[in-house]
Amino acid sequence: MSFNLESIQTAVSEARAKGTERGIKFEQSFDVAVNFRRKELDVSKSENRLNQELIIPNALYPPAKVCAFGDGEFAEKATAAGAEHIVSKEEIAKMGEDKKTRRTLAKNYDFFVASTDTMPLVGRYLGQALGTRGKMPRPFPPQADLKGIIGQYRRTVRIRMRNIPTFHVKVGHMKMSDKEIADNILAVLRFVESKGHASKISSVKVKTTMGPPIRISV
């Protein structure tokens, strides 16, 4: 199976046009849905499910929201690097006492980073809330390049397949060009190919938030 950037871009252009033809005024995002043939991809087996973060060529809009766990130098660097929220060691334990607070934290942020010394606390108090969503943070030492790491998260999407052979992932926004969105979709499809699942694809469709799905020829 081959993927053609031009045909992807054509589908994105059509999705954009049909997504706005009803005079919808708010700015919509673009999602791609990759569907697999059920008989060829048995997702009842965990090893067949895709569950991984992927760095795409072009940053999404609005930018992914990043939360950092840590104190001192790590917290200062995370703030300077653009993290939207910092959670101290003391706050981690307090959050762990409130189920609603844990869920809200996990829901409101796309990615998490943590200083190495906070990871045991994160695992103990927030592991269930973050782990079930595939959002457990990666640990970093204080001297880590948090600006580069958080910048990379602005170009990261999470591909996650559950109990049906399909996944949906955000790949763009109305503010982005058709070419930028198409490049992101191509990166997703090449990721699928790298996992040996390209021949099992039944369809690929792109749509805006309010528009109809447009099939991409693959």
H and E: helices and strands count for the chain: 7, 10
**Taking a C-beta distance cutoff of 8 angstroms, is the pair 207, 15 a contact?**
yes
Query: CA-to-CA distance for 81 and 75, rounded, in angstroms?
Result: 10
How many other CB atoms are there within 10 angstroms of residue 68's CB atom?
29
Altogether, the residues listed in the chain come to a count of 218
Instruction: List the one residue out of 176, 153, 155, 157 whose CA is nearest residue 168.
Output: 157
What is the pTM for the complete model shown?
Answer: 0.86
**Level-2 CATH architecture, domain 66-153:** 3-Layer(aba) Sandwich (3.40)
CATH of 5-60+157-215, one of 3.40.190.10, 3.30.190.20, 3.40.50.970, 3.50.50.60: 3.30.190.20
Domain boundaries, the chain: 5-60+157-215, 66-153
pLDDT in tens, the chain (218 residues): 578 999 999 999 999 999 887 666 778 999 999 999 999 998 888 888 898 999 999 999 989 999 999 999 999 999 999 999 999 999 999 998 889 999 999 999 999 999 999 999 999 999 999 998 889 999 999 889 999 999 999 999 999 998 899 999 999 999 999 999 999 999 999 999 999 999 999 999 999 999 999 999 88
**Rg of the Cα atoms in the chain:** 19
